[in-house]
Amino acid sequence: MNQMTPARTPAARTPLPPADPAIGRAVATTLAGLSFEDLPADVVRIVKLFTLDTLGVIGGAARAPGMAELTAALSAWEACGKATMLLTGRTANPATAALANGAAAHSLDFDDQHDPARVHVFCVVLPAVLAAVEAKETPVSGREMITALAVGVEVFCRLGLTCYNSLGKGWHPTTALGTISAAAAAAKVFGLDAEHTLNALALAFVQLSGTTQFIADGALAKRVGPGFAARSGVLAAHLAANGITGPVRFLEGEAGLFKLYERGEVKPEILTEGLGTSWHVRDLSMKPYPCCRCVHTTIQLALELRAQGVKPQDIVRGTIELSEVNRKIVGAPFDRTHANPVVHAQFNAAYAFAAALVDGGVEIGSFTPDRIRADDVAFAARFSTIAGADIEPTAIAPARVVLELADGRTLVAERQTMKGAPEEPMSEAEVFAKFASCLRWGFNAPDAPVAALQATVMNLDALDEARDVVSLFLACRPEVLK
């Protein structure tokens, strides 16, 4: 006779003791305990400036290749929702809105970067936070929004430094590591405790993805990657808040991030040392040029050579020397007939040099198909890009250009730093000018609403309702003003 096995009530998961060394748990516990009062004044200021910069870059993406198609595809499946897709003003599921806004923030490749960690941070974290702010049933203050942004960005920077050669392995760390960082930020908006925050981070890891193959193939998927990360992070925090659990050893487990994805090439101590008291947010770089950060030093060298009187017709051939990792990303020969010219040019050191030398600057308009295929920059095809023998393989800033000139001379120019980095920062006036120019490019935005949005973001800690940032952004769109 068969015997029925008595039904068992699932046992509640017993939390690990406080002394447990699990890194993920230590991170989650610290994050859950942070508040606005723990943020130094300069960190608050940095968060405001980069929030403003990212909102401008999102607005500038209104006419970027692929954005209309992306928002149309996402809108086709959702009639309405709690969160706003900033480029269209339509509402959607918060995860969907985070995807759309994250893609927009990265579509011009004009978004910030933590250079040593090689991650773009606000393009993932800000869309995740905005989606969570709109999704939450109760109002979120400006101070709470700043805290969530600071938490997400800090986790992102530390993950990038911990996984120091993620890009060299073929991962796109902005997409991959951004998923976990977005979850940290959204968890903070939702007010999750340490245990729920741990599960949010773990559920984000389960969704982790991201590959540099989209760069090699010049695909529009490159700009969607941060959107995927923002979407997955918001979803992870939402699921964790509702009791879904994740693999809590998502970092140090046998199939965790460190061993499975990073092959043991990690510095895990960076994740926890000084967390909450020492801020890598301070090391962020803002982009003065809308293209891959790996070519920014090359652009500056072109501008310096132009100032010395060098002209395109003087150049017989040229060599650009970069680090090995940079060469892999931006070292392909320039092909102005490329099927996806915008992404190709944004990730091409030779084109960046040529555009800067011809135009005396590089801006959003430098990366349109007509500009890329113009005759006056075709000489970029005469350049080769190699790994400099004396340049550290993972370094991002150093670059050298060697030019062979028609008169028989050889010119060598080199640089060890790049503009926008902490040691050579953009001025506040330059940040504001970039913000306004992006909104004019994307929306043809009038001055008054641009100024109103700028003033609100720069006084975000005085704002009672963080949703106001979204409404003020939408006011910069011309159809709203009609």
| Dihedral of the alpha carbons of 466, 467, 471, 474, in degrees to the nearest 10 | 90
What is the amino acid identity at position 380? A
Mean pLDDT (the chain) is 93
Q: What are phi and psi of 66, to 5 degrees?
A: 90, -20
**Side-chain half-sphere CA neighbours of 166 within 13 A:** 31
pLDDT at 10 over 50: no
pLDDT at 430 over 50: yes
Q: Are 229 and 178 in contact (CB under 8 A)?
A: yes
Angle at 321 between CA 315 and CA 325, to 5 degrees: 140
pLDDT at 13 over 50: no
pLDDT for res 65 = 87
Least confident of 54-68, 261-275, 466-480: 466-480
pLDDT for res 8 = 35
Average pLDDT score over residue span 117-126:
96
pLDDT for res 53 = 98
pLDDT for res 168 = 85
Q: Looking at the whole model, is its pTM more than 0.85?
A: yes
Distance separating alpha carbons of residues 286 and 293, to the nearest angstrom:
10
Residue 81's H or E segment, with its range, is none
Composition of the chain by helix, strand, coil, percent to 5: 55, 5, 40
Q: What are phi and psi of 322, to 5 degrees?
A: -130, 180
Average pLDDT score over residue span 225-236:
98
Confidence band, pLDDT 50/70/90 cuts, at residue 283: very high
Average pLDDT score over residue span 19-28:
79
Distance separating alpha carbons of residues 341 and 291, to the nearest angstrom:
13
Distance separating alpha carbons of residues 468 and 150, to the nearest angstrom:
19
What are the angstrom distances between the C-alpha of 300 and each of 198, 293, 295, 352? 43, 12, 9, 10
pLDDT at 20 over 70: no
pLDDT for res 336 = 92
Distance separating alpha carbons of residues 392 and 403, to the nearest angstrom:
22
Distance separating alpha carbons of residues 112 and 127, to the nearest angstrom:
14
pLDDT for res 7 = 35
pLDDT at 479 over 80: no
Confidence band, pLDDT 50/70/90 cuts, at residue 14: very low
pLDDT for res 304 = 97
Confidence band, pLDDT 50/70/90 cuts, at residue 218: confident
Confidence band, pLDDT 50/70/90 cuts, at residue 367: very high
pLDDT digits over 142-182, tens only?
999 999 999 999 999 999 999 999 988 999 999 999 999 99
Quick one: what percent of the chain has pLDDT higher than 90? 89
Can you give the length of the chain in residues?
482
pLDDT for res 146 = 98
Confidence band, pLDDT 50/70/90 cuts, at residue 340: confident
Question: From 1.10.238.10, 3.30.70.141, 1.10.4100.10, 3.20.20.80, which CATH number describes the 23-283 domain?
Answer: 1.10.4100.10
pLDDT for res 6 = 33
Q: What is residue 400's three-state secondary structure?
A: strand
Distance separating alpha carbons of residues 230 and 148, to the nearest angstrom:
13
- DSSP state, 446? -
pLDDT at 195 over 70: yes
Angle at 292 between CA 287 and CA 297, to 5 degrees: 70
Residue 343's H or E segment, with its range, is helix 341-346
pLDDT for res 2 = 35
Cβ within 8 Å of residue 361, ≥6 positions away: 303
CATH topology for 293-415 is 60s Ribosomal Protein L30; Chain: A; (3.30.1330)
Cβ within 8 Å of residue 242, ≥6 positions away: none
Average pLDDT score over residue span 212-218:
85
Q: Tell how far CA 260 is from the center of its chain.
A: 23
Average pLDDT score over residue span 373-400:
96
pLDDT for res 223 = 87
pLDDT at 482 over 60: no
pLDDT for res 9 = 37
How do the domains of the chain map onto residue ranges? 23-283, 293-415
Average pLDDT score over residue span 367-380:
96
Average pLDDT score over residue span 19-44:
90
pLDDT at 343 over 90: no
pLDDT digits over 438-471, tens only?
999 999 999 999 999 999 999 999 999 999 999 9
Angle at 184 between CA 81 and CA 48, to 5 degrees: 80
